[in-house]
């Protein structure tokens, strides 16, 4: 029990530090770094060969890596797209096209105004937000566990899309505190390049 408390406390402290660092980004740095991430993402072989890609719509107030340029690029490549939505306490993938109207949902994340849940077996790539990551490919999110349980659910069904975290280089730490349910990523893309864990 003490170990669980320690992990929870360590995650909370790391979240607080990373949220503060992200919020200190200037608008120009935010735009420049997000665009650099997009450039690397759009050149990935895993993206080029993918048919269906799930990407998040950023929560601006959280200074998550922006996905606007990625959305533009994927749309130009005629990729089938979906975005994460929360329904019944679980993360699902909903169909999305560039220009579809969105509304802020429960946690502030933009979701399509008209939600159509897609067949999860179609997913080739998932682009995930994160607060911190480590050299082993583990990520720290906001603590709700939506992505971890989503990825676990997919793997239980034999569905293994490429898991790509989008980050700023300063979000890398020596080791992310781990709970048993935490799911590793295949790749991390930041403004400096690409890290592979497979």
Q: List domains and CATH numbers for the chain.
A: 2-196 (3.40.50.10420)
Q: pLDDT digit string (tens) for 117-160?
A: 999 999 999 999 999 999 999 999 887 889 999 999 999 999 99
State both tokens at 145. Answer: 């566990």
Beta bridge partners of 172: 133
Q: Whole-prediction pTM value?
A: 0.94
pLDDT confidence of residue 198: 73
User: Distance between CA atoms of 2 and 33, rounded to whole angstroms?
Assistant: 39
State both tokens at 61. Answer: 């107030």
First to last CA, the chain: 32
Is the CB of residue 189 less than 8 Å from the CB of residue 22?
A: no
């Amino acid at each position: 029990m003490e170990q669980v408390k320690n992990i929870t406390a360590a995650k909370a402290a790391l979240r607080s530090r990373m949220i503060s660092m992200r919020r200190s980004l200037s608008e120009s740095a935010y735009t420049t770094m997000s665009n650099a991430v997009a450039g690397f993402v759009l050149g990935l072989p895993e993206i080029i060969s993918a048919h269906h890609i799930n990407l998040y719509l950023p929560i601006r107030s959280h200074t998550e890596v922006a996905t606007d340029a990625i959305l533009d690029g994927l749309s130009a490549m005629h990729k089938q797209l979906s975005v994460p939505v929360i329904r019944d306490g679980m993360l699902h993938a909903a169909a999305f096209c560039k220009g579809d109207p969105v509304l802020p949902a429960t946690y502030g994340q933009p979701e399509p105004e008209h939600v159509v849940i897609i067949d999860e077996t179609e997913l080739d790539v998932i682009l995930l937000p994160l607060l911190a990551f480590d050299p082993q490919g583990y990520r720290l999110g906001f603590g709700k566990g939506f992505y971890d349980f989503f990825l676990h659910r997919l793997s239980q069904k034999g569905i293994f899309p490429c898991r790509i975290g989008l980050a700023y280089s300063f979000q890398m730490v020596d080791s992310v505190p781990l709970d048993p349910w935490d799911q590793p990523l295949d790749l991390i893309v930041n403004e400096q390049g690409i890290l592979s864990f497979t």
